[in-house]
């Protein structure tokens, strides 16, 4: 059964300006593993998608009380499917709400990045 749904969209130009204006914003929002893959910095599109994913998760959960940006890093499996590597406190929150599965889909095109999150019991 679906417990929550969250969606978020990020304007790439606006996100780029925010990262440029505030250099510490990237490290505050993303873990090192999210910012760098195979020794190379991730693209702006990838970072914006990850930010949208985190925002969508917060919406699907109904709030972010007790959750930090680094508690919900976005990872990809060998087939490049995205998911979250949730911190223990987030997993506890999910368990308290009866959530057993978190599904994530992300895309970017035409100057925006978007993410959908569905939580299931």
What pLDDT does 64 receive? 82
Q: Please give the CATH topology (third level) of the domain spanning 2-120.
A: Ribosomal Protein L22; Chain A (3.90.470)
Other residues' Cβ atoms within 10 Å of the Cβ of residue 52:
26
Mark out the alpha helices in 11-121 (DSSP H runs). Answer: 12-21, 25-29, 32-35, 44-61, 88-96
- Read off the pLDDT of each residue in 69-78 and give the average, rounded to a whole number: 94
List, for residues 37-70, the tens digit of each pLDDT value.
878 999 999 999 999 999 999 999 998 888 999 9
């Amino acid at each position: 059964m679906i417990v929550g749904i969250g969606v978020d969209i990020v304007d790439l130009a606006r996100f780029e300006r925010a990262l440029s204006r505030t250099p510490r914003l990237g490290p505050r929002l993303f873990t090192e593993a999210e910012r760098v893959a195979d020794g190379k910095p991730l693209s702006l599109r990838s970072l914006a998608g990850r930010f949208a994913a985190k925002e969508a998760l917060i919406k699907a959960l109904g709030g972010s009380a007790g959750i930090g940006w680094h508690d919900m890093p976005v990872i990809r499996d060998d087939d490049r499917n995205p998911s979250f590597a949730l911190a223990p406190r987030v997993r506890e929150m999910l368990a308290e709400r009866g959530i057993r599965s978190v599904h994530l889909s992300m895309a970017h095109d035409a100057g925006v990045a978007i993410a959908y999150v569905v939580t299931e019991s």
